[in-house]
């Protein structure tokens, strides 16, 4: 085993987990290479679903993948811990000590030797230094944060329902800062929760008592997507009685309000930050590797870092150039999926002495899901390059298929089919919202 090439992947997100799964099945199973995944958590949940976990429309426990069990099935190793440093000369990465919830050290600092290192640690929310954001905002970067949000939301509904029963003022104000895909989809999920929860005993509180505001600094929501899609999404939010505030940069967040740059204020009992992302700060200190102002590792089109050909990076934490464009690959789930596919081919080629495969991003379009209400989006034509606008059940089918494709990459077609059937049974047997 010691003589085998050691490929270490840091980060078990959508792209990282898909990559180690394929490498394990191709190389680890046949003992052609040793594959190791390093992650700070024990389980994986597809990040685009975290807003559904937060609202309660998705039970994370039923959709989690345990890294240890998955590693055993797919012939790779798993190391629990957070990457904290790198020694490129010794080809070692440093894993920070792991502590339990009481602060007791469980596992001390470790060093892992590698031959090829792949960094896929994703991104975190970027609050741009906005005063009060860290103290008063909720974030949805991780499963733990999504679960915390869910508990706080249930408690807020319970408190307001009690105030309504006592005939006291009981409006619940929820503010979402950032109208990208996460912010828009979260607003729809929260509106669903406001309509479903009163059915389960909170009958003194109505959906109209829950005011949902979404604030965007740009002049329209979903500013990175086509204008037609943005307009359709705005109409749907308004139909769901979500208040949209565009052209409103936030200057400060307080415990009970959002303060705009023009001095206007929005009452907010719960404020969620969903505006902008950045790569983790520790990447800027990785033994001289080149990073940009967003902490992303700068890579070549081959996904190799600019200063070390044995270190690769992809997904949200990497700034990858595109041919004939001055903009890097966008930080989207479909980009990470495509990069994982390209990098799999490159890493297999490396063992065979072949050159790396250049990555070319293909934009397949965008889909925005408004919970159980509707889905809108645009699909890019492979031949014409033109986009086709879709909505309703057809768009919903495409949206659901994205997650199923991710499951197929991790489990194969047969097991994904079984998971799909179990999901159907679960929906029939359990409440539409997670109530605890």
Q: For residue range 22-46, list pLDDT tens digits in order.
A: 999 999 999 999 999 999 999 999 9
Q: Count the helices and strands in the chain (H runs, E runs).
A: 11, 28
> Residue 197: which of 167, 160, 171, 169 has the closest Cα?
160
What is the structure's pLDDT at 383? 41
What is the number of other CB atoms lying within 10 angstroms of the CB of residue 435? Answer: 12
Domains 6-123+279-351 and 133-275 belong to one CATH topology: yes
Distance from C-alpha of 146 to C-alpha of 165, rounded to nearest angstrom: 29
Q: Phi/psi at 148 (nearest 5 deg)?
A: -65, -45
DSSP-derived pairing of the beta strands 270-273 and 116-119: unpaired
- pLDDT tens by residue, 317-354: 999 999 888 889 999 889 999 999 999 999 999 999 99
Contact between 426 and 62 (Cβ < 8 Å): yes
pLDDT at 3: 83
The per-residue pLDDT for range 345-389, each reduced to its tens digit, is: 999 999 999 999 999 999 888 888 888 788 888 877 544 456 777
- What does the domain layout of the chain look like in residue ranges? 6-123+279-351, 133-275, 365-429
**How far apart are the C-alpha atoms of 222 and 77, rounded to whole Å?**
39
Write out the two tokens for 353.
Answer: 């002495």
Has domain 133-275 been given CATH number 3.50.50.60? yes
pLDDT at 240: 94
pTM: 0.91
Cα 262 from Cα 247, distance rounded (Å): 10
Do 379 and 368 contact (CB within 8 A), yes or no? no
List, for the chain, all residue ranges whose pLDDT scores fall below the cut of 50.
Answer: 1, 382-384
User: Nearest to residue 431, comparing CAs of 207, 203, 193, 240?
Assistant: 193
Q: Which CATH number fits domain 6-123+279-351: 3.50.50.60, 3.40.50.300, 3.40.50.720, 3.10.20.340?
A: 3.50.50.60
Quote the CA–CA distance of 72 and 54 in Å, as a whole number. Answer: 30
DSSP states along 212-266: EEEEESSSSSSTTS-HHHHHHHHHHHHHTTEEEEES--EEEE-SSEEEETTS-EE
Cα 416 to the center of its chain, rounded Å = 21
The tokens for 265 are: 């204020």
């Amino acid at each position: 085993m010691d003589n085998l090439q050691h490929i270490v992947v840091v980060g078990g997100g959508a792209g990282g987990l898909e990559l180690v799964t394929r490498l394990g099945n191709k190389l680890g199973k046949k003992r052609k290479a040793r594959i190791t995944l390093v992650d700070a958590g024990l389980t994986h949940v597809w990040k685009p679903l975290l807003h559904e976990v937060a609202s309660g429309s998705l039970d994370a426990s039923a959709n989690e993948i345990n890294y240890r069990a998955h590693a055993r099935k797919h012939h790779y190793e798993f190391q629990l811990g957070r990457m904290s440093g790198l020694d490129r000369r010794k080809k070692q990465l440093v894993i920070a000590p792991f502590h339990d919830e009481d602060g007791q050290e469980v596992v001390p600092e470790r060093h892992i030797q590698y031959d090829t290192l792949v960094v896929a640690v994703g991104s975190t929310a970027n609050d741009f230094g906005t005063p009060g954001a860290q103290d008063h905002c909720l974030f949805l970067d991780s499963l733990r944060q999504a679960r915390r949000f869910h508990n706080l939301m249930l408690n807020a509904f319970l408190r307001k329902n009690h105030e309504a029963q006592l005939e006291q003022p009981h409006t619940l104000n929820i503010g979402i800062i950032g109208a990208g895909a996460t912010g828009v989809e979260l607003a729809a999920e929260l509106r669903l929760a406001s309509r479903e929860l009163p059915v389960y005993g909170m009958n003194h509180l109505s959906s109209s008592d829950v005011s949902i505001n979404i604030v965007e600094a740009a002049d329209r929501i979903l500013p990175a997507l086509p204008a037609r899609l943005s307009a359709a999404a705005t109409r749907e939010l308004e139909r769901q009685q979500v208040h949209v505030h565009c052209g409103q940069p936030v200057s400060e967040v307080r415990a009970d309000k959002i303060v705009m740059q023009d001095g206007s204020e929005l009452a907010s009992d719960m404020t969620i930050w969903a505006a902008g992302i950045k790569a983790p700060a520790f990447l800027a200190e990785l033994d001289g590797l080149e990073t940009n102002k967003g902490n992303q590792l700068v890579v070549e089109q081959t996904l190799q870092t600019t200063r070390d050909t044995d270190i690769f990076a992809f997904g949200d934490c990497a700034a990858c150039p595109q041919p004939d464009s001055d903009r890097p690959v966008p930080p989207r789930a479909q980009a990470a999926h495509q990069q994982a596919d390209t990098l799999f081919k490159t890493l297999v080629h490396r063992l065979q002495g072949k050159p790396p495969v250049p990555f070319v991003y293909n934009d397949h379009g965008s889909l925005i899901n408004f919970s159980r209400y509707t889905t809108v989006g645009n699909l890019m034509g492979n031949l014409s390059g033109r986009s086709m606008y879709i909505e309703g059940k057809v768009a919903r089918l495409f949206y659901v298929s994205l997650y199923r494709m991710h499951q197929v990459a991790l489990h194969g077609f047969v097991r994904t089919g079984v998971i799909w059937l179990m999901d159907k049974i679960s929906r029939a047997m359990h409440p539409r919202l997670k109530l605890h």
